[in-house]
Structure 1
Amino acid sequence: MKYEVTVTSVGDAAFELLKDTGCLIIFDKCPLTELEEISLMHTPGEIKSPLAVGDKVTMGKHEYIITAIGDEAPKTLSELGHCTFKFSGHSEVELPGQIELKGENKPEITVGDKITIE
């Protein structure tokens, strides 16, 4: 297991953002309260080995494959528990803090669900 956290809260607009943009934002330490409304908050986690294209990401009951990783994503994930998951499966990211994912369906995540990367 490269990374594992547990969801502690789901922002009121997090899934609206996912529906509108295909993006899901996560944090363990959120710098702005306003961002919590559009984010999933989770327990602190540690990246135990480098993330790589082809790694499996599990969110609740859904599984995805990483297709691209932004240059800043490992750093922000390590320091703030933050990244933006985008579910388009592209081979390149649009923003440096993004992780692109490929898979069926958008995640349905509730408090207590795990987010893992392996």
Structure 2
Amino acid sequence: MELFETSIVGIGSQAKMFAAEAMLILFGQGAPEDLKEYTYQIDVNPVNGDIVEGQFIYFDNQAYRITSVGNLVIKNLNDIGHISVKFNGATEAELPGTLYVEAKTLPEMNVGTRISIK
């Protein structure tokens, strides 16, 4: 069952700079202009249930196991589509708006890339 599904509708000119930190930033289309250039813009869609460790986030067909979930991830996705995804395998959420996933090569991110959580 999909808990969340969206797709990338825009890519800020500086969005890829966070790859060096094994991180990407998602933000709904209403992102403030000063932040927009650092984000992957997505459609804001509702989260249908709890996001917990052990589930997977998919970028198209690339799966990443979720290792920790910040306590504001669901609220932020529902409200403004804004979370960070950190690819470091952390088992404790350091930041409330961050989703932590296994440490693997970051996915290819393009306009149209489908993102889902199952």
Larger mean Cα displacement after TM superposition, 62-71 or 97-106 = 97-106
TM-score (norm 2): 0.92
Q: What's the CA shift for 1:17?
A: 1.4
8 Å CA contact 1:65, 1:103 repeated in 2: no
8 Å CA contact 1:28, 1:42 repeated in 2: yes
State the partner residue of 1:14. Answer: 15
State the SS of the aligned residue for 2:18.
helix
State the SS of the aligned residue for 2:115.
strand
State the partner residue of 2:106. Answer: 106
Q: Once the two structures are superposed, what CA deviation does each residue of 1:50-89 show, in whole Å capped at 9, x if it has no partner?
A: 1111111001342101100011111111111111100001
Deviation above 2 Å: which 4+ runs of structure 1? none
RMSD: 1.3
8 Å CA contact 1:63, 1:103 repeated in 2: no
- Take 1:108 and 1:16, find their aligned partners in 2: how far apart are those partners? 14
TM-score (norm 1): 0.92
Q: What's the CA shift for 1:98?
A: 0.6
Identity score, percent: 26
Q: What's the CA shift for 1:103?
A: 4.8
**How many residues of Structure 1 are paired with residues of Structure 2 in the alignment?**
117
Q: Once the two structures are superposed, what CA deviation does each residue of 1:82-105 show, in whole Å capped at 9, x if it has no partner?
A: 111000011012211111011531
Q: Once the two structures are superposed, what CA deviation does each residue of 1:14-37 show, in whole Å capped at 9, x if it has no partner?
A: 111122x22111011444111111
User: Gapped runs of 5+ residues in structure 2?
Assistant: none
